[in-house]
Amino acid sequence: MSSSHTLQKSSQGGAKTIFSVTSGNFLEMYDFMVFGYYATAIAKTFFPGDDPFASLMLTLMTFGAGFLMRPLGAIILGPTLTITDGAKGCC
């Protein structure tokens, strides 16, 4: 009887984890989509210059840096925060 109770409890935890991961990824992709949509306006506002192509490339490089920093932050900060938080890590 206790094994079925444990199984049910772990499946509820799995659903919560899947929901959390899905909502986090949705918000991140929404953020990048909005950034991409407004890239030309951001280029004109934050990188003014004679060449609009160079301004757009600087904007997209900023976009790319943000896109690449998320996995690096997870690799670097994940174990660090797990140690300081006292929770057991995944690895």
Provide the pLDDT for residue 26: 92
The pLDDT, as a whole number, for residue 85 is 59
For the whole model, what pTM was predicted? 0.55
pLDDT at 15: 84
Q: Spell out the SS3 assignment of 50-75.
A: CCHHHHHHHHHHHHHHHHHHHHHHHH
Are the C-beta atoms of 71 and 64 separated by less than 8 Å? no
Domain ranges within the chain, ordered by starting residue? 1-37, 38-91
Residue 59: count other Cβ atoms within 10 Å of its Cβ: 22
Cα R_g (the chain), whole angstroms: 20
- pLDDT averaged per 10 residues in sequence order, the chain, 91 residues: 54 79 88 87 88 90 86 83 62 51
pLDDT of residue 88: 59
Q: Which pLDDT score, from 0 to 100, does residue 8 have?
A: 54
